C-alpha cells in the first residue's frame, strides 16, 4: 500500500510542478526565454538515456565545492526517483515516460538555481545558441516550407 501512495504522491507532485512551472517558461517578463526540449520517447520497458542537454549546457563551468555538492545531491535524488518510476509495475509506459521527462526537467531547473548569476547567463546563451541551431536544422530539412 505504501508503494501505491508513494507512486501516486510522486505522480501528483511531478504533475503539479510541471503545470505550475510551464506558464513561467513563456512569461513575457523573463529576461531571456528558456526553452525545453522534449526528449524522444524511449522503448517500452527501457529507461531512457540521461538527457545530455544538462551536461552540454553546464559543461565548462567552474563550480565551487558547495555547488558541486548541491549538484551531486540533486542528481542523486533525481536518479533515485527515476529508478523508482522505472521499477513501478503499476504505471503504464506513457505514465513512466511522462514522469521521467518531468524529473529530468526538475533536475535541470534545480541545477540551474544552484548556479551563480554569471554561470546562469552562460547557460542561457548556450540555450539560445542551441535553439537557433535547431531551428536552422529544421529549415534545412524542410526546404519547401518558409
- Over residues 124-140, the pLDDT tens digits come to 999 999 899 889 988 88
Extract the C-alpha cell encoding 127.
Answer: 540555450
**Phi/psi-derived region of residue 82, left when phi > 0, alpha when psi is between -120 and 50, beta in every other case:** alpha
- Over residues 8-20, the pLDDT tens digits come to 666 655 555 554 5
Amino acid at each position: 500500500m505504501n508503494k501505491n501512495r508513494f507512486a501516486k504522491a510522486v505522480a501528483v507532485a511531478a504533475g503539479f510542478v510541471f503545470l505550475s512551472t510551464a506558464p513561467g517558461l513563456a512569461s513575457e517578463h523573463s529576461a531571456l526565454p528558456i526553452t525545453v526540449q522534449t526528449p524522444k520517447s524511449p522503448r517500452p520497458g527501457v529507461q531512457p538515456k540521461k538527457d545530455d542537454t544538462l551536461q552540454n549546457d553546464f559543461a565548462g563551468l567552474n563550480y565551487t565545492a558547495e555547488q558541486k555538492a548541491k549538484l551531486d545531491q540533486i542528481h542523486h535524488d533525481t536518479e533515485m526517483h527515476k529508478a523508482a518510476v522505472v521499477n513501478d509495475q503499476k504505471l503504464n509506459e506513457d505514465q513512466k515516460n511522462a514522469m521521467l521527462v518531468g524529473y529530468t526537467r526538475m533536475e535541470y531547473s534545480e541545477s540551474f538555481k544552484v548556479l551563480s548569476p554569471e554561470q546562469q547567463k552562460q547557460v542561457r546563451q548556450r540555450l539560445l545558441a542551441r535553439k537557433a541551431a535547431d531551428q536552422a536544422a529544421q529549415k534545412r530539412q524542410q526546404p519547401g516550407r518558409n
